[in-house]
Amino acid sequence: MVAENLKPPHVALLCCPGMGHLIPFMEFAKLLVQNHGITVSFLVITTDASPAQIEFFKCPKIPPEIQIIEIPPADMSNVVSEVTPLVARLCLTVRESLKPINSILAGLNLTALVLDMFTTQAIDVARQLSIPVYCFCTVSASFLAFSLYVPTFDRELEGEYMDRSEPVKVPGGREERVQDLMDPARNRKSDDYKWCLFHFRRLTLVDGILENSWEDLERLSLDAMRNHDFYKTISAPPVYPIGPIIKPPESIFCPGDAKIISWLDDQPPDSVLFVAFGSGGTLTSAQLTELAWGLEMSEQRFILVARKPFDALASAAYFRTKDDANNPLFYLPEGFLERTEKVGLTIPSWGPQAAILGHPSTGAFLSHCGWNSALESLSRGVPILAWPLYAEQRMNATLLVEEVGAALKPDVVVQPGKGNLIGRKEVEKVVRAIMRGEEGNAVRRKAKLLKESAEKAMKSGGSSFDSVSRVVDFWKSQ
């Protein structure tokens, strides 16, 4: 048979709901189509879709070579409630949505199926259909190494993680302080933890893990998963660092976004602090007040993406991104907008993050440390002021500060009746430190080096480019 007559590999991508999963999965789909000639079917879980997800799939920039297949919504009325915790709700949504996955996959004639960490229920169906299965890991390599270790550590652990005085020593990798661990680890009896354990156990069942990181960023954890005997003992699959796979700068269509970029154009280089907490994070009322006062007191230029506060849950916006019923600017301190209008720009709910981070006037990013946001920031040479909220973000923050060296972190204190709080004076101090202090200069230099390293990794001949190519070449050989 002549090579030109061979059909290209057909790969299906299946991620769980949430913009932190959807965005890197779509960028990976574009990379496969545009750089490697792969045919891609993108399977979309439509159950409980947020307004942001619905808008995302209306984007005209999705290449026509990517076939969007919507999985019919499942009836969740008797499965979850308003009090179902985040991870359990996410995993139950996936479980119910994937009931028709057998018939969907059977009709696609696939070369491979690419899952994420929270859609591993599809592994069993793929095996029945003799479809090779890969995991695209949208979290850090450090967290991946931890996840592969958790099932073993769970069997050996007596009591709770939080009762330990010693950190969790990941084989060959980082020591994770118990206070930094992902939220579900705070209660091993919780449904959230049980679901994480379920999925983490199944990571060894895939044929390979595509990790959204790169060699120079997380060499310690990547080397550990390649070489440490523990990962050989558990038959961990090969890990391919293929990142940073990030969202490109947005095209500016709406007047509000154009105003933001125009405002940035008038500011000096590296002078603006961008403040945003991702697609799902929220602050308490007290913390939003302290943040606003600290920004004002710092007298530094800033762009603040303000979201309606929520006092009970830091992940309150996860399933309702861009759907606030009330104008979140109403929750800022009285007179804040007027007093800061010469140095700051405050916008409600959402901003064009990739475009802002890529602008030369942006000098630092006050971020929740979701992995996508961290990659977007470092890939554009912007240091991070780490402000983790939920999930594994505390682990990411510590990684970025202590190992990567491209972030600073404010001190958190316990306020009677208010829980953990970063006070306005601490905000003032760390904002000044990262924007004009020697510490800020040091992390900015490191971020600039990582930008160069990321660009090199993704170019032809770079480490991440070669990792993707090895996997694609294998698919083509099949």
Residue 362 is predicted with a pLDDT of 98
Reading the chain (478 residues) residue by residue, the pLDDT tens digits are 334 457 899 999 999 999 999 999 999 999 999 999 999 999 999 998 988 898 888 876 789 999 999 999 999 999 999 889 989 999 999 999 999 999 999 999 999 999 999 999 999 999 999 999 999 999 999 999 999 999 999 999 999 999 999 999 999 999 999 999 999 999 999 999 999 999 999 999 999 999 999 999 999 999 999 999 999 999 999 999 999 999 988 765 577 789 999 999 999 999 999 999 987 788 999 999 999 999 999 999 999 999 999 886 655 555 454 444 468 899 999 999 999 999 999 999 889 999 999 999 999 999 999 999 999 999 999 999 999 999 999 999 999 999 999 999 999 886 666 568 999 999 999 999 999 999 999 999 999 999 999 999 999 999 999 999 999 999 999 8
Q: How far is CA 248 from the centre of its chain?
A: 15
Residue 321 is predicted with a pLDDT of 47
List 115's β-bridge partners, or say none. 14, 135
DSSP string, 120-142: TTHHHHHHHTT--EEEEE-S-HH
Strand order in the sheet with 133-137: 66-71, 39-45, 10-14, 112-115, 133-137, 208-211, 239-241
List 10's β-bridge partners, or say none. 39
One domain, residues 38 and 124: yes
Tokens for 181? Answer: 């661990």
One domain, residues 68 and 174: yes
One domain, residues 443 and 337: yes
Residues in contact with 473: Cβ distance below 8 Å, sequence separation at least 6, in sequence order: none
| Residue showing tokens 């590999």 | 9
Residue 445 is predicted with a pLDDT of 98
One domain, residues 227 and 283: no
One domain, residues 186 and 319: no
One domain, residues 167 and 218: yes
351, 355, 360, 364 alpha-carbon torsion, rounded to 10°: 50
Q: Which residues are part of the catalytic machinery? A: 21, 116
Structural domain includes residue 265: yes
Tokens for 33? Answer: 């189509």
Q: Residue 346 sits in which domain range?
A: 255-455
C-alpha distance from residue 353 to each of 11, 131, 178, 247 (Å): 29, 37, 31, 9
One domain, residues 88 and 207: yes
Residue 279 is predicted with a pLDDT of 78
One domain, residues 371 and 418: yes
- Contact call for residues 356 and 264 (beta carbons, < 8 A): yes
Q: Give pairs for 454-459: CB < 8 Å, separation 24+.
A: 454/214, 454/216, 454/217, 454/243, 454/244, 454/378, 454/379, 455/379, 457/214, 457/215, 457/216, 457/243, 457/244, 458/214, 458/244
Q: Give the strand pairing for 168-169 and 344-348.
A: unpaired
One domain, residues 209 and 330: no
CATH of the domain at 314: 3.40.50.2000
One domain, residues 230 and 264: no
CA distance 226 to 233: 12
One domain, residues 357 and 400: yes
pTM for this structure?
Answer: 0.94
- Contact call for residues 209 and 134 (beta carbons, < 8 A): yes
Structural domain includes residue 467: yes
CA angle 95, 99, 100 (to 5 degrees): 140
Structural domain includes residue 2: no
Structural domain includes residue 1: no
Residue 273 is predicted with a pLDDT of 98
Residue 311 is predicted with a pLDDT of 82
One domain, residues 143 and 230: yes
C-alpha distance from residue 106 to each of 43, 101, 109, 111, 128 (Å): 13, 8, 7, 12, 10
Tell me phi and psi for residue 195, to 5 degrees. Answer: -70, -40
Structural domain includes residue 230: yes
Cα-Cα-Cα-Cα dihedral sign, residues 47, 50, 55, 61: negative
What's the domain count of the chain? Answer: 2
